[in-house]
Structure formats: structure tokens, C-alpha cells
Chains A and B, each alone.
Chain A
Amino acid sequence: MTSVMNATRSPHGISTSSDEAICLAGVNAFYGESHILHGVDLRVKRGELVTLLGRNGAGRSTTLKTIMNMVGSRSGSIVINGQETLGMKPHHIPRLGVGYCPEERGIFASLDVEENLLLPPTVRSGGMSLDDIYGMFPNLYERRRSQGTRLSGGEQQMLAMARILRTGADILLLDEITEGLAPVINQALAEVLVTLKSRGMTIVLVEQNFRFAAPLADRHFVMEHGRIIDTIEAADLDARRDDLNALLGV
């Protein structure tokens, strides 16, 4: 059993070790006829916070959706917590401990705040309790009886994140969580991410806002045209800032 956990051979002959939460190897993704991801390789160690950077349409959101099996079809190898997931049904993937927060937040209008919070089924033990969550996001407690979509943008974002913390997921895929939010809210979100990382969560952050992501991440993956074209370690960030600016076109 230990040997299986320690080194799983993926179809591409790349070994994945047990300290890796996510390992993508040669992943292609398609929506109908359109080929969106072209051989993405991505490894995230347990407890790491990494970002996917890139221009709009580079394939960052699609990478998260591909991990969740929410695209038309996919190929390659996607190992999550030591398990190959390429052939898995979409609703089995969260049960490996993956929590997904979509770009459009996906707050349900027909549910109130607390119903939204309680909606995602528990995927493993050790998730935050409702009290913990209300402690971390006091605004949500005050507005727990409001219709989910009546919250402000920032509160909806808090709700979308809080919702997956309850489930016990220890791998979080967060898509553009700072989009359109005030700096003070982003500051609060950054503090939440630091807390979650200190609790040992693995976090993949798709971000447009580099200034938000830079101080948080261990590593940055730069995407373009559905490929990962560069990897920048946090320590090299200052030295490579010009490269990065050129890649992102800022």
C-alpha cells in the first residue's frame, strides 16, 4: 500500500510522489471542436500556494475546470492526492478533497446565505464548522438569512470561499477571487488565504491581480495559448520581474 501511495506511475511515465497534491501531465482539454489546453504539466506539492498567471484566454480557468472534469473532454493524466482522476465522473472528484470556487462565484439565488453555506456535501472530515466560518467571516453571520445573491460582491466572494471550507476539502482551486473587489476586501481575502495556508491547505489561485498574488504564492505558473510557458519561484520573483511583465504584457 505504501509503495502505491509513494510512487504512482502515470500513463506518461512520470512518477508522482505522495507529497504532491496535484500532478497534471500532458493534459489536453477540449470544448467540442476547440482544443483549449495543449499538454499542460503542473505539479503542486501539499501545502503549497501556487498561482496561474496569464492573459485572458490563456487557459487558466480552463485548467481548473479540467481538473474538476467540467470541460467537454480531456486527455493526459491528472493525479489528485495520489489517485488518477482522468476517468472519474465529475461528482467523484470533489470527494478526493478538492474544493472549487468558480470565477462567477456561483452563489445560488434560490438559497439564503446559510443554505448556500451548507449546500456542498462534506467530502472528508476536518472541515471548518459553521461557527468557525462565521468567526472568519462575521459579515456572513449577520446576513445568514439574506438571499445569497443580495450580498455585496465582496460578501458573495467570501461566501463562495467559505462554502468549500466547510466540506473538509484540503485542495482549493480558486478562480479570480479578487476580480472587481475593493482593495480593502482583497486585503481581507489575502489574510484568509494566509490563514488557510498555515493550516496546511493546498491552494491553486488563478489571478489577474499580480500584486495580490505575489506576496502569497510559493510559485507562479505563467500560461499562454493553453500551455505553461514559464515557472517562477517566489524567491526569483524580484530578479525576474521584467520577464514576467513582458509575459503578462503589463
Chain B
Amino acid sequence: MTMIFGVPLAVFMGQLMLGLINGAFYALLSLGLAVIFGLLKIVNFAHGAQYMLGAFAALLGAQYLGINYWLALLLVPLVVGAFGALLERLVLRRIAHLDHLYGLLLTFGLALIFEGSLINLFGVSGASYPVPEALAGGIKLPFMFLPTYRGWVLVAALVVCLGTWFIIERTRLGAYLRAGTENPALMQAFGVNVPLLVTLTYGFGVALAAFAGVLAAPLYPVSPTMGSSLLIVVFAVVVIGGMGSILGAILTGLAMGLIEGLTKVYYPEAANTVIFLVMIMVLMLRPAGLFGKEA
């Protein structure tokens, strides 16, 4: 059997794959956080809860409305994203002129409310969401067995990440977003409806989280607390990558997933903390993050 540094190849590749999939979720979620932070300057603490709402919406949609996975993948981000846009318009906008710390506190409060309400309704144990039939089973690669659904998650997350990067960096709408991030008052003086841009951006960031939630539903137990534990790691990823950088968020997300996966192979005890160790090192050496601009 082929060994890599004393570990069987299949085990090594398996952990690498798991790491990459975790990394894809980190990338999707930190991307949404980066987009929201860029324009609103709010650290969206409700992001984990919005991811959880995505998974729950898929689960409840399947149970009560018979919405299948593929339709959920399309509808849930739209619905949860629209809910996010509504939150921005009705709640976040009222405190937009205050110190951004208030935005952080408010979104944190919202996260607790979403979580608490769902715990009250469904408990914490969590339910499972079936893997869609078309993606059941797996593919036997020469070096490992790859469950089809995991391969799909990786591809879908990467496509959405790169699509988002393309929209922001290469299109006119993206130019509005980048310019609005730099100088919203001047954009307004050019005739751009900045308040609307802010609402749509928040909605889009929330939709990304909900999309990640639907992708995650067949992989992890769907429970009200599934977002909060993930979000802490995602914040560490964002700190490492540098707040506000789009490509930085994607690359750092994937890289941190891989590092976590590798640590699981060679020193499993540190697997849950390795990202935070990297974060501390980055904060000491490059406080603005790997891809962030020095202030």
C-alpha cells in the first residue's frame, strides 16, 4: 500500500477531501461576510444563523411543501436572501449612522433570536436531510472512494465562489459595489441609489449563506445550532484572509480547510485549534490579514 509520511494514501486523500469540503463551506461563508463588510462595514454575526436558516428552509420545504433538493438550492437562497434584505431595510438601516459596533451587536442579537426560536420549535437534536438520489453513491478513484455528493458540494461551492468573484471584479454592477465600498457619498452624487445597493448587497451576502446551508443539509445534521459553531471558525478564516478581500476570502477558506484536514491526519488533537493558531500567527506578523490592505 502506498504510504505518505507514514499514512496510507487512501486515508491521506480522504482527509484531504474532507478538509477541502470544509474549506468550501468556509470559503462560501467568509465570502458572504466579506461582501457584507465591504459595503455595510458591519460584521454580520447573524451569518451562521442565516446559514442554518438555509438548511432549515430546505428541510421544512421538503417535509411540508415537497420541495426537492434542486428546487431548494434555487429557492431557499432567494427566500432567505429576501428576508435578509428586509432585515437590512427595516432594522440594520436604522443604526447605519451609528458606530459599526452596534451593527455587530444587533446582528449577534438577531442570531440568538433565530437560533432560540428554532430550538424552541424543534429542539437541538437535529434532523437529517436525504442526499438527493442523483448524487447518491460514490465514485471509486484510484486512490480513494469519493462520495458523489461530496464531490458535488465542492464543485458547486467553487462555481458559486468564482461566479461571485467574477461579478464583483469584472462587471459594472461589481464596479458599483467596489466604488460604493470606497466612497458611498460620491456614488450617490453620481446618481447611484446607494441605499438600494446596500439592501441588495446584504440580501446577496445572506443568500450566499443560505446556499451554503442547503449544500450542507445532506452532509451534517440540520439543527438550530449548526451555524454558531461553524461561524467562529469562519471568523478566524476572515481574520486570516483579511476583511473585505473577495479572492482572499475564497483562497483562505479553502486553504484553512486543507490545513485542518492535514492536521487531522498527523496530529488529530490539534485539528480543532490549528486554524486559531494560524490566526494568532497572522495577527502577529500581518495584522491586516494575508490578502488585506494595510490600513
Q: Chain A contacts of B193 at CB under 8 A? A: 91
Q: Chain B contacts of A102 at CB under 8 A? A: 186, 189
The reply to whether the CB of B192 lies closer than 8 angstroms to some CB of chain A is yes
The reply to whether the CB of A31 lies closer than 8 angstroms to some CB of chain B is no
Count residues on chain A whose CB falls below 8 Å from chain B CBs.
23
Q: Which B183-202 residues sit within 8 Å CB-CB of chain A?
A: 183, 185-186, 188-194
The reply to whether the CB of B179 lies closer than 8 angstroms to some CB of chain A is yes
B175 touches A111 (CB 8 A): yes
Given A70-B185, A108-B183: A120 in contact with B178 (beta carbons within 8 A): no
B50 to chain A, nearest CB (A): 26
A64 to chain B, nearest CB (A): 10
A92 to chain B, nearest CB (A): 8
Which of A92, A93, A109, A120 is the one whose CB lies under 8 Å from B182?
A109
Question: Roughly how many angstroms separate A118 CA and B190 CA in the complex, as a whole number?
Answer: 11
Given A118-B175, A119-B175: A106 in contact with B183 (beta carbons within 8 A): yes
Which of A90, A109, A119 is the one whose CB lies under 8 Å from B176?
A119
Question: Roughly how many angstroms separate A145 CA and B169 CA in the complex, as a whole number?
Answer: 14
A221 to chain B, nearest CB (A): 21
The reply to whether the CB of B172 lies closer than 8 angstroms to some CB of chain A is yes
Count residues on chain B whose CB falls below 8 Å from chain A CBs.
17
B190 touches A167 (CB 8 A): yes
The reply to whether the CB of B15 lies closer than 8 angstroms to some CB of chain A is no
The reply to whether the CB of A110 lies closer than 8 angstroms to some CB of chain B is yes
Question: Roughly how many angstroms separate A34 CA and B228 CA in the complex, as a whole number?
Answer: 45
Question: Roughly how many angstroms separate A121 CA and B176 CA in the complex, as a whole number?
Answer: 10
The reply to whether the CB of B148 lies closer than 8 angstroms to some CB of chain A is no
Q: Chain A contacts of B181 at CB under 8 A? A: 110
Question: Roughly how many angstroms separate A108 CA and B179 CA in the complex, as a whole number?
Answer: 6
Q: Chain B contacts of A120 at CB under 8 A? A: 190-192
Q: Which A112-131 residues sit within 8 Å CB-CB of chain B?
A: 115, 118-121, 123
Which of B182, B189, B194 is the one whose CB lies under 8 Å from A108?
B182
Which residues on B are within 8 Å of A, measured CB to CB?
A: 172, 175-176, 178-179, 181-183, 185-186, 188-194
Q: What are 9 A-B interface contacts by the 8 Å CB criterion?
A: A68-B189, A90-B188, A94-B189, A95-B191, A100-B186, A108-B179, A108-B182, A108-B183, A167-B190
